[in-house]
Amino acid sequence: MSQLPYRPNPGEIPTNPGVYRFRDAAGRVLYVGKAKNLRARLSNYFAPLRSLHERTRRMVTTAASVEWTVVASDVDSLQLEYMWIKEFDPPFNVRYRDDKSYPFMAITLADEAPRVIVTRNRRIPGAKYFGPYPKVWAVHETIDLMIKVFPIRTCSDSSYKKAMQSGRPCFPGQIGRCGGPCSHKVTIEEHRAIVDDFVAFMAGGDERFARDLNARMREAAAAMDYESAAVYRDRLQAIEAVLKKSELVLTDDVDVDLFGIAEDELAATVQHFVIRGGRIRGVRASTIEKEIDISGADLVDQVLQRTYGDAAPVDIPRTVLVPSLPEDAADIEAWLRERRGKQVSIQVAQRGQKADLMRTATLNAQQALMIFKTRRTSDYVARTQALTDLQQALDLTEAPLRIECYDVSHLSGTNVVASMVVFEDGLPRKDQYRTFGVPETTDDTDSLYQVLTRRLAYLDRPEEIEPPAPEPTADGEVVTEPPKRKRFAYPPQLLVVDGGQPQVAAAARALKDAGHSEIALCGIAKRLEEVWLPGEDYPVILPRTSEALYLLQRLRDEAHRFAITHQRKRRKRDISSVLSEIPGLGDARIKALLRHFGSVTALRAATPEEIAGLPGIGPKLADSIHSHLAR
């Protein structure tokens, strides 16, 4: 099909800003998007199908109609896009998998005597929230420290009402856990003042409270009121513990939300750091599943919409730090400014403390993405589903219980190595991983052919391990065990190669030449996560939620990691052995040369003058290095 039957005439599509929806034959909304120019944006979807991203092609071919709504401004299109995505939950838009609610600390300011609680409910009327916190115990730990300094109410509403009516302190008040009026130690007005200090401290981590307590402690000690001094001392220790638990990461007048994002072709993880008064007051993590191709900047756009779409004005900070600016950053700033009622700036951290913090958040996001993918492939139900999905998608006669994946790695055409990783029953068998050196090769496909030919040869000559001498059992019977095959001789049900049509063709040729066409074969291309089969003109596109796709992706990534690790070790070993032979070169100078040139090949191509340009390498030693490597 070269043209979609529901494609509107270009003249029918307005050039105004607006929001569009693709629907399927049943009327379900498949995808929602916004555009500054609807005609220009929609024309991209109706380009020749062969030029579209595979997943975009699947979306437009699944759709049966497209409709749009013109809006007055780009900011209005942002708001409408968010509302429609929330209302229709389209399957081809990004989907937030980890949508759990996080615990918050809330102060119920609308109450007569506000109390501090731990809650996941963000809709308590008049409440002031702090967080989110990664764990419930972290909120309780902070509250325990805070009420030592600012003793505000912690008891339930029923306990408070009963205590106020009976004149008898509530139970938390009797044991020193509640400092509200129900404890009969303060009036409602005095308690409200303490609550205001509690909120002010949490909002800014203001160290003036520590200075004030320190001054009071010294005054009491000077007046020999040691009992009061001890109380101030304990409160000072508590406030210092709270400040220490939330170290200053930026200057104390900075309110920022920072988003670290890690992504691959199928998923992304977001680490949202909430920084108030220069301190990290909360961390929120989420995982996003992607269906159609979406750039990093577009992903930032979606993350900001979701984060602030329903946020209270006080939860929107003055500055938002992101890894990359979305195309419509100015429109999002205007949208946030409208919601906050004050200026909002979206920035990319370039240098200094903010850039360091962004690297930390991104590292956390990368770790979370790795854990997310590992857990999916480690779960028994998911593994079983993955193998079943693979069997159906690749039209196999049985589920592939043993899968081998191959990747070729090189450094500018040199130091070519290949890796073989093995998964059995959906889990890695690291004791069966192998690496192969490829001394001479023309390209990656030739390397892959050589490696598979060598590996498949083991299937035709399985070496046997001599079994131990049989011993008679208790009844005198002798049981003889059959010889065991070495692990390398076990045949896989499926071979996976890292790459597309050329790599699959080379692997198919190796299987045919080795006489093992009974082994199934596929390739996974990294750019689009397409699954290629031998002799096919079009790839298999597995759904985003397919466990099979995550398993193939994990196989490919593991093979790539293993190949790179082996190559680095080998290169380091080779480089060190060559350079250590040169008189006058110690470990420090070898490391400096490697950092600068990267490999012996690059060093060999350097002139003596270029080598002598490094600190600690004089002209004489440079000549010696050059002449030694030129042999």
Say if residue 348 is in the same domain as residue 453: no
Query: Would you mind telling me the total number of residues written for the chain in this entry?
Result: 631
CATH number of residue 50's parent domain: 3.40.1440.10
The answer to whether 122 and 316 are in contact (CB under 8 A) is no
Say if residue 391 is in the same domain as residue 530: yes
Most distant CA pair in the chain: distance in Å? 99
Beta strands in 478-623 (DSSP E): 484-485, 494-498, 520-525, 530-532
Say if residue 112 is in the same domain as residue 189: yes
Residue 291 has pLDDT above 90, yes or no: no
In a domain, 445, yes or no: yes
In a domain, 43, yes or no: yes
Say if residue 182 is in the same domain as residue 293: no
Question: Range with the lowest mean pLDDT among 192-196, 239-243, 397-401?
Answer: 239-243
In a domain, 399, yes or no: yes
Say if residue 164 is in the same domain as residue 187: yes
CA count, 13 A, side-chain hemisphere, 594: 18
This prediction's pTM: 0.51
Say if residue 345 is in the same domain as residue 396: no
Say if residue 228 is in the same domain as residue 165: yes
Structural domain that includes position 603: 580-629
- CA dist 373 to 263, 267, 292, 345, Å? 11, 9, 19, 34
Nearest to 103 by CA among 88, 91, 114, 118: 118
Say if residue 194 is in the same domain as residue 317: no
Alpha-carbon distance 549 to 103, whole Å? 33
Say if residue 62 is in the same domain as residue 192: no
Say if residue 619 is in the same domain as residue 585: yes
Say if residue 355 is in the same domain as residue 273: yes
Domain ends where: 245, 275, 305?
245
The answer to whether 425 and 479 are in contact (CB under 8 A) is no
In a domain, 82, yes or no: no
The mean pLDDT value of the chain amounts to 79
- pLDDT, greater one: 131 or 385: 385
State the total domains in the chain. Answer: 5
> Per 3-state DSSP, what percentage of the chain is helix, strand, and coil (rounded to 5)?
45, 20, 35
Domain ends where: 192, 215, 245?
245
Residue 463 has pLDDT above 70, yes or no: no
**Tokens representing residue 525 in the block:** 């291309």
Alpha-carbon distance 609 to 598, whole Å? 17
Express each pLDDT in 8-60 by its tens digit: 887 888 888 889 999 988 888 889 988 888 988 898 888 887 777 767 887 88
Question: Range with the lowest mean pLDDT among 158-162, 326-330, 367-371?
Answer: 367-371
- CA dist 102 to 285, 357, 500, Å? 9, 22, 42
Say if residue 143 is in the same domain as residue 279: no
In a domain, 87, yes or no: no
CATH number of residue 404's parent domain: 3.30.420.340
Overall average pLDDT of the 101-112 stretch: 83
Overall average pLDDT of the 208-220 stretch: 74
- CA dist 45 to 57, 266, 493, Å? 8, 20, 39
Overall average pLDDT of the 475-489 stretch: 53
Residue 263 has pLDDT above 80, yes or no: yes
Domain ends where: 31, 57, 74?
74
Overall average pLDDT of the 312-317 stretch: 84
Beta strands in 325-450 (DSSP E): 345-348, 402-411, 414-424, 427-428, 434-437
In a domain, 86, yes or no: no
In a domain, 472, yes or no: no
The answer to whether 287 and 268 are in contact (CB under 8 A) is yes
What contacts 40, CB < 8 A, 6 or more positions away? 15
Alpha-carbon distance 41 to 580, whole Å? 59
In a domain, 511, yes or no: yes
CATH number of residue 614's parent domain: 1.10.150.20
Express each pLDDT in 508-562 by its tens digit: 999 999 888 889 999 988 666 788 899 888 888 887 667 888 888 888 888 888 8
